[in-house]
A and B are shown apart, each in its own frame.
Chain A
Amino acid sequence: RKEVEQDPGPFNVPEGATVAFNCTYSNSASQSFFWYRQDCRKEPKLLMSVYSSGNEDGRFTAQLNRASQYISLLIRDSKLSDSATYLCVVKETASGTYKYIFGTGTRLKVLA
């Protein structure tokens, strides 16, 4: 089983739609969680951190379910500019050190 799993998509949605992505992780001791956005042939950029209580930033809402070991990202009122790959990232400890584990990403295409 992969450490961090995401549906690769692509998710093709019309402008204005609401779309949700899920991500599951295998290490129950994982400590921090993030969503990154990556545009084609560019570096990943932080979209938002994910907090236990859930958090919202404009049209984006992230939630964490520790019991079921999954993280979600909801995008409301999709824009053409939201088209990108969304990466789920988990920070975990390994023998006293810390590593960031990436999912393979979910591709989103917002259509006019």
Chain B
Amino acid sequence: DGGITQSPKYLFRKEGQNVTLSCEQNLNHDAMYWYRQDPGQGLRLIYYSQIVNDFQKGDIAEGYSVSREKKESFPLTVTSAQKNPTAFYLCASSIYAGQTGELFFGEGSRLTVL
């Protein structure tokens, strides 16, 4: 079945550690996105990529980094510079960067900093 796979589903981290969240899609989508959601709040865009080897900062990119070496993969690293990293992280993709096309989401990764 085609879809987006995020791992791990739950992750606990000590302060000062970097962690990498995996996102893989087999939908042959061009564009991929990372969002963060805090309790009771909307989704905020961290980074997005519309083609391989290219990505742009979203609204809250500070303390995060990404790479897009393959079309299928868009990992997110939460660095120690991110002051409040505990959140629900959602990876998404869309078929192309054109006008139409909805977003498809993975099941999310829930990060807790101890």
- B105 and A44 within 8 A (CB): yes
Q: Is the C-beta of B106 less than 8 angstroms from some C-beta in chain A?
A: yes
Q: Is the C-beta of B16 less than 8 angstroms from some C-beta in chain A?
A: no
- Cβ contacts under 8 Å, B44 to chain A: 102
Q: Is the C-beta of B84 less than 8 angstroms from some C-beta in chain A?
A: no
Q: Mark B85-114, 1 if CB is under 8 A from A, else 0.
A: 000101010100111111111111010000
- B48 and A44 within 8 A (CB): no
Chain A residues touching B, majority SS: strand
CB distance from A18 to the nearest CB of B (A): 25
- A45 and B42 within 8 A (CB): no
Residues of A whose CB lies within 8 Å of any CB of B are 31-32, 34, 36, 41-46, 49, 87, 89, 91, 97-105
13 CB-based A-B contacts, threshold 8 Å: A32-B99, A36-B103, A42-B108, A43-B106, A44-B105, A46-B103, A91-B99, A98-B50, A98-B97, A99-B45, A99-B48, A99-B58, A100-B45
